[in-house]
Amino acid sequence: MFATINYNLRLCPCCGQPRRIAHLIDLYERNYRLIERLVPELDLPFENVISRSDTDLPLHLSVVERARYTCELRLSYVFDQPVSRHREPDFWVRVYRDAHVAEAHQCGRRMPWLAERCNDPAAQDFLHDQWARNHMLARWLDYLLEQGHGFAIAARPRVPRLADATDETRRNP
Confirm whether 154 is domain-assigned. Answer: yes
Q: Which helix (H) or strand (E) holds 127?
A: helix 121-146
Confirm whether 99 is domain-assigned. Answer: yes
Quote the pTM value.
0.69
Confirm whether 22 is domain-assigned. Answer: yes
If one counts the domains in the chain, the total is 1
The answer to whether the beta carbons of residues 60 and 113 sit under 8 Å apart is no
Confirm whether 8 is domain-assigned. Answer: no
Domain that holds residue 108: 16-163
Cβ-based neighbour number of residue 98 at 10 Å: 8
Q: Could you report the per-residue pLDDT of 7-49, keeping only the tens digit for each?
A: 445 666 556 667 677 788 889 999 999 999 999 887 777 789 8
Confirm whether 101 is domain-assigned. Answer: yes
Confirm whether 3 is domain-assigned. Answer: no
Distances (CA, A) of 92 to 3, 56, 72: 27, 20, 7
Confirm whether 2 is domain-assigned. Answer: no
d(CA 113, CA 86): 29
Q: Could you report the per-residue pLDDT of 110-157, keeping only the tens digit for each?
A: 334 444 445 556 666 666 777 888 888 999 999 999 999 988 755 555
